[in-house]
Amino acid sequence: MSKGFSISCERNQHPILEQLTEWFKDRQQVLEIGSGTGQHAVFFAKHLSHLNWQTSDMQENHPSINAWLAEAELPNVSAPVVFHVGKNDWPAVDADAVFTANTTHIMQKHDAKLMMQTIGKHLKRGGIFCQYGPMNIDGEYTSEGNRQFDQHLAESGCGGIRDIAELKEWAENMQLVAQINMPANNFLLVWKVI
Ligand SMILES: C[S@@+](CC[C@H](N)C(=O)[O-])C[C@H]1O[C@@H](n2cnc3c(N)ncnc32)[C@H](O)[C@@H]1O
């Protein structure tokens, strides 16, 4: 697979950037979980040049990430490390921030739980985790579109949309400090390591 393209990245990158500009303003090293095509990494690293952005994903997505990185030639974004929550150990990255977009509902439930448990162990105290995607609230979908999407996820063998209460329960050493409504019935959850 060469350079992939995600239309959802194209649509959500500006609103997410607006938030990351604030939440990552005093951060230095970001680990991105599930970089996918590599588009977000290139876009955010370009606009947030004070950050070092470490990409990661399963091996099969690396060619696309590498293709985006090669084209962008940015000094502050690093070639992907193999990291699949539930399969690989936490990467050797001295991160003070973690970013992930549209991965929590793709992962199996036990991997989503593990992600919430392990980030708080590996990020430094005061570390920030920004988690973007569709989430449920108090057991309810936030839109009919999300209900249909969740059905599609179940049929595709994905873990499905998680409830914010469930994520809070799973989060270890982390506090939810912001729950931001984003376009298209998504959220940006901001967690802080305590
Ligand atoms: C819908 S894509 C989103 C990719 C990218 N973050 C974006 O916003 O376009 C879901 C991503 O989650 C990754 N993923 C799925 N399960 C994972 C796991 N257990 N650990 C890490 N990444 C995982 C996939 O490899 C894929 O890159």
Domain count, the chain: 1
CB contact set of 128 (below 8 Å; sequence gap of 6+): 23, 24, 27, 96, 97, 98, 190, 191, 192, 193
- For residue 87, the enclosing domain spans 7-193
Tell whether the model's pLDDT for residue 1 goes beyond 70.
no
Q: Is 106 in the pocket of ligand 1 (CB under 6 A)?
A: yes
pLDDT digits (tens, 9 = 90+) for 20-76: 999 999 999 999 999 999 999 999 999 999 999 999 999 999 999 999 999 999 999
Average pLDDT for residues 1-6, to the nearest whole number?
88
Contact yes or no for 172/152 (Cβ under 8 A) = no
Give residue-wise pLDDT tens across range 100-148.
999 999 999 999 999 999 999 999 999 999 999 999 999 999 999 999 9
In angstroms, the CA 82 to CA 4 distance is 18
Nearest atom within ligand 1 for CA of residue 85: 20
Residue 1 lies in a domain: no
> Which token pair is 172?
């270890």
Q: For residue 101, how many other CB atoms are within 10 A of its CB?
A: 24
Q: Probe ligand 1: pick from 6, 106, 161, max atoms within 8 Å of CB? A: 106
Q: Output the domain CATH number for residue 163.
A: 3.40.50.150
Report the nearest-CA residue for atom 23 of ligand 1: 34
